[in-house]
Amino acid sequence: MDFATIFRRYTPYVAQVATRILGRNDDIEDLVQEVFSEAHRGLDTLREPRAIRRWLATITVRRATRRLRRRRILHYVGMEPPIDTSTIVEAGTSPEIRAQLAAVYRVLDTISPEARIAWIMRTVEDEPLETVADVCGCSRATAHRRLQEAQAALSKAFRDG
């Protein structure tokens, strides 16, 4: 599979995972470029075509983690832009759902980027725990612990979470 084909096939996936992790899409294009630049350099090293998706997920997670850490610093100094979910949901989504989505992301902002990503990859992207551990670069036990951290925060915030 040539690079352009890989790009066309997997960009929607990379962009979707990144948007869900970050909860915003204001610099998703930059992130996609970064992911595929890294992918471009390593294309020859990938021997198993079926591993491409997971490989891209790993790069995406790594890049998104850096952004989340940067955002936490901006948050501490009061420079983080407010959450605006209007650009990441379909146009017809009700104001109530948008508000609740913003509330979920507010909770996710209070936990570690690693826990947030583990939760998104496991419960939103439906990846098995082994894959979550793999793309997050940690053990299965650590991935499980991060997942529990996120679940606990969400359960505390929302009675049915």
Partner 1 sequence: MAERLQADPSSLVRSVTSGFDEARVEKTLQLHLRNQRRKVVIRVAAGGALAIAASVIVAFAAWPTHEAAQGIAKRAVSPRSPERAIELADGSRFLPIGEAIVRVHEVGDARVRAELVSGAVDVEIVPRDGREVVVAAGRVTVRVLGTVFRVAREGDRTRVAVRRGRVEVRWNEEASVLESGGEGLYPPEPPSEAGAETDPPANETRVVPRGGWRALAEEGEYERAYDEIGRVGPGAVRDDVDELLLAADAARLSGHPREALPYLARAERLAGSDSRGASAAFTTGRILARLGRAAEAASAFERVLEGEPSGSLAESAIVRAVEAHESAGNRARAAILARRYVASFPDGRWVERMRSLAE
Q: Is 101 in the site for partner 1 (CB under 8 A)?
A: yes
Q: How far apart are CA 3 and CA 39, in angstroms?
A: 9
Q: Is 121 in the site for partner 1 (CB under 8 A)?
A: no
Only segment of 56-64, 97-105, 130-138, 141-149 that touches partner 1 (CB under 8 A): 97-105
Q: How far apart are CA 116 and CA 2, in angstroms?
A: 33
Q: How far apart are CA 37 and CA 34, in angstroms?
A: 5
| Minimum distance, C-beta of residue 130 to partner 1, in the bound complex (Å) | 18
* Distances 149 to 82, 106, 115 between C-alpha atoms, Å: 24, 15, 6
Only segment of 55-63, 71-79, 83-91, 141-149 that touches partner 1 (CB under 8 A): 83-91
CA dihedral of 88, 68, 61, 132, whole degrees rounded to 10: -100
Q: Is 84 left (phi over 0), alpha (psi -120 to 50) or beta?
A: beta
Binding partner 1 by CB under 8 A: which of 48, 79, 81, 160? 160
Q: Is 36 in the site for partner 1 (CB under 8 A)?
A: yes
* Distances 146 to 11, 124, 159 between C-alpha atoms, Å: 27, 15, 20
Q: Is 139 in the site for partner 1 (CB under 8 A)?
A: no
Give the nearer residue to partner 1 in terms of CB position, either 42 or 73: 42
Residues that bind partner 1 (CB under 8 A): 2-4, 7-9, 11-12, 15-16, 18-20, 23, 25, 28-29, 32-33, 36-37, 40-45, 47, 85, 87-90, 93, 96-97, 100-101, 103-104, 107, 119-120, 123-124, 126, 154, 156-161
